[in-house]
Amino acid sequence: MSAVAAPASTVSFAPLLAKRFPGTVVAETRPPADVPTIAVTRAALREVALFLRDDPSTKYDLFVDLAAIDTSRLPAPQAPADGHRFQAHVLLYSTSRNAHLRVRVSVPEADAVLPTLTGVWPAANWFEREAWDLMGIRFEGHPNLQRLLTHNGFVGHPLRKDYEAAQRWLCTEEDLLQTQLAAKTDTPEDVFETMTLNFGPSHNSTHGTLRVVFRLDGERIVAAESECGYLHRCFEKMSENHTWVQVVPYTDRLNYCSPMINGFGYARAVEQLCGVTAPPRAQAVRVVLAEFSRIMDHMVCIGTNLVDLGALTNFWYGFQTREEIYGLLEACCGARLTSSYARIGGLANDVPTDFVARSRALFPQITRNIGEIDRLVTKNRIARDRMYGTGVFKRDDAVAWGFTGPCGRASGIAYDVRKDAPYDGYDQLDFDVPVSSDGDNYARYLVRMEEMRQSLRIIDQVLKSFPAGPISTDDYRVALPPKEMVYNEMEGLIYHFKVVFEGAQVPAGEIYSFVEGANGELGYTLVSDGSGLPYRIKVRPPCFPLFSAFEKIAVGGMVSDAVATLGMLNIIAGELDR
């Protein structure tokens, strides 16, 4: 169950850091189920970050997440000893050592400023903007510290605990993005040479509400600025006044192309915090449905992207697969997209009795659809010309910008959570991780195609030895007891009442738990104060760093290449904006 299983992660850096930068390391903790943590002083953050990135013994080269936490309402034992109001958790990953690390910094309220890490990891850029926007921590030296998820006319920082969720602001139209880009590019000599093109937020090929403003020299993009937040729906703020279980329907709306994975990832994170484990059958179902969701997600990604490139046929083949998989998901959870199937400690219901047969019945269809897309596209000169060598992002760039998942693997980062920090029994399964070194759209396409085949392999193995047994844990502090117990036994009814009214009893603590989402590492930072409601939930959406790098990838290419790139990065506005 341990999140970080690799022996490398057990090495302690505190003495090393203390020797190198005396007085910087405040504390070091390495709880068994969580990511190891070092707490450093604010003044030394940048130096420590550089050291952690570059030193061969640490080599934390990938910036995973930045979670800002307002500790002002935390009860006494959990509240930080130094009395500072904010905490920033910088989560890092080392691609060479396969280890996660959390760097914790305390930030006082009166002077809520941190040194920026954009110079160390470019991926930090948007994460810092988000932290500024939602928590009000300023980042000194940040190149563009604007609001990211909320509107520019927004007042206050919504994730602070003293911010009333029901407040409303009058936000008027203002085209800040365009002016920003103009200020960057409007030099006297090129003002007549280049033109500005607005792309999105409602454009057929953004596949969601994203916005990019291009500065064009003919067809070539000379500068780009992207913006998100159009689909921001306060997921993290709203979670704070719902019980732990009530967050599950919210997670379905994160990556709506593969909603099941989000729910399972969330449930697993809470389970780790509670110290409960889902029974083997629930884990097996999670693996099967997560892999089917992954296939679905890749099918949608490839299908819709090819539509943008002018190949409509694949869309039908891809969506046929998706349609049949939706049928299976609906038979398990009762809804096609808004599944809310995951529960803390297991699943909502047992799967249908013919689950195995029905899952197997999907195989020929999916294999055929994959084969058809393969035959139509992979060797097709036109498709290949559109994708090969466009949107190139090589490994060094991809690591610096925090790429994970299929896009990271297409750039040569052989990191897959299912292999490198196995969960739900993935370590028992035999599958390959497709990796390419090209880093272009064609590589992203090939990686996704291969991942679908590997997913089928995984499902096949799980179905071969599909475990029997309960579907949910019998720890009734967190899970609802079965209905026969509720109806017939007093004890069951009491548990039932307590779980419904008080919510799952999640002990105080914090955790960073991550699974392999369809787009990459999907992480949840959870902080519990033991009250029955989540204290703070921070999602690490895999396509957030992907989209933040988009303006860099797009520059130098054509507008039509940018469309192909945007599709192949598979930006899902639901999880991007939360």
Partner 1 sequence: MPARVVNVTAAPMTFMERLYLPAILKGMALTFSHFFRNLVDIRRLPTIQFPEMRRVYSERYRGRHILKTREDGSLKCVACYMCETACPADCIHIEAGEHPVLAYEKYPVKFEIDFLRCVMCGFCVDACPKDAIWMTKDYEMSYFDRESAIYGIEKLRETREDTAAGGPGYGYRPYYGESPMRKAGEFEPSGLALLPVLKKRAEAINRMPPPKAAPPAAKTA
Nearer to partner 1, 85 or 343 (CB): 343
Asked if residue 258 lies in contact with residue 297, where contact means CB atoms within 8 angstroms, the answer is yes
Q: Which residue has the tokens 């605990």?
A: 161
Q: With CB under 8 A, what is the number of residues at the site for partner 1? A: 73
Pick from 65, 240, 271, 420: which binds partner 1 (CB under 8 A)? 420
User: Looking at 439-573, which runs of residues are DSSP E strands?
Assistant: 509-517, 520-528, 534-540
Asked if residue 504 lies in contact with residue 476, where contact means CB atoms within 8 angstroms, the answer is no
Question: Which string of x and - marks every residue 119-158 that binds partner 1 (by CB under 8 A)?
Answer: ----------------------------------------
Question: Which string of x and - marks every residue 475-504 that binds partner 1 (by CB under 8 A)?
Answer: -----x-xxx-xx-----x--xx--xx---
The verdict on 313 binding partner 1 (CB under 8 A) reads yes
Pick from 354, 474, 489, 491: which binds partner 1 (CB under 8 A)? 354
How close are the terminal C-alpha atoms of the chain, in Å? 27
Instruction: At 5, list the tokens.
Output: 């299983």
User: Looking at 302-419, which runs of residues are DSSP E strands?
Assistant: 342-343, 346-347
Pick the piece of the chain touching partner 1 (CB under 8 A) from 25-33, 78-86, 439-447, 570-578.
439-447
Nearer to partner 1, 192 or 501 (CB): 501
**Which are the contacts of 408, defined by CB distance < 8 A and separation ≥ 6?**
398, 415, 520
Nearer to partner 1, 250 or 544 (CB): 250
H or E element, residue 181: helix 176-185
Q: How far is the CB of 172 from partner 1 (least distance, A)?
A: 26
Touching partner 1, residues 191-250 (CB under 8 A): 242, 245-250
Q: How far apart are CA 55 and CA 53, in angstroms?
A: 6
Please, which residues bridge with residue 115 across strands? 140
Nearer to partner 1, 425 or 482 (CB): 482
The verdict on 395 binding partner 1 (CB under 8 A) reads no
The verdict on 432 binding partner 1 (CB under 8 A) reads yes
- The letter for the amino acid at 344 is I
Pick the piece of the chain touching partner 1 (CB under 8 A) from 110-118, 134-142, 154-162, 355-363.
355-363
The verdict on 336 binding partner 1 (CB under 8 A) reads yes
**Cβ neighbour number for residue 345 with a 10 Å cutoff:** 27
Q: How far is the CB of 367 from partner 1 (least distance, A)?
A: 13
Q: How many CA atoms lie within 13 A of 396 on its CB side?
A: 1
Nearer to partner 1, 292 or 550 (CB): 292
Q: How far is the CB of 311 from partner 1 (least distance, A)?
A: 9
- Omega of the bond prior to 201 within 30 degrees of 0, cis? yes
Touching partner 1, residues 440-469 (CB under 8 A): 442-443, 446-447, 449-450
Pick from 375, 428, 474, 556: which binds partner 1 (CB under 8 A)? 375
Pick from 330, 474, 489, 491: which binds partner 1 (CB under 8 A)? 330
Nearer to partner 1, 72 or 488 (CB): 488
Q: How far is the CB of 114 from partner 1 (least distance, A)?
A: 33
Q: How far is CA 73 from CA 86, 193, 232, 529, in A?
A: 11, 55, 25, 9
Q: How far apart are CA 344 and CA 252, in angstroms?
A: 15
Q: How far apart are CA 167 and CA 169, in angstroms?
A: 7
Q: How far apart are CA 90 and CA 105, in angstroms?
A: 8
The verdict on 353 binding partner 1 (CB under 8 A) reads yes
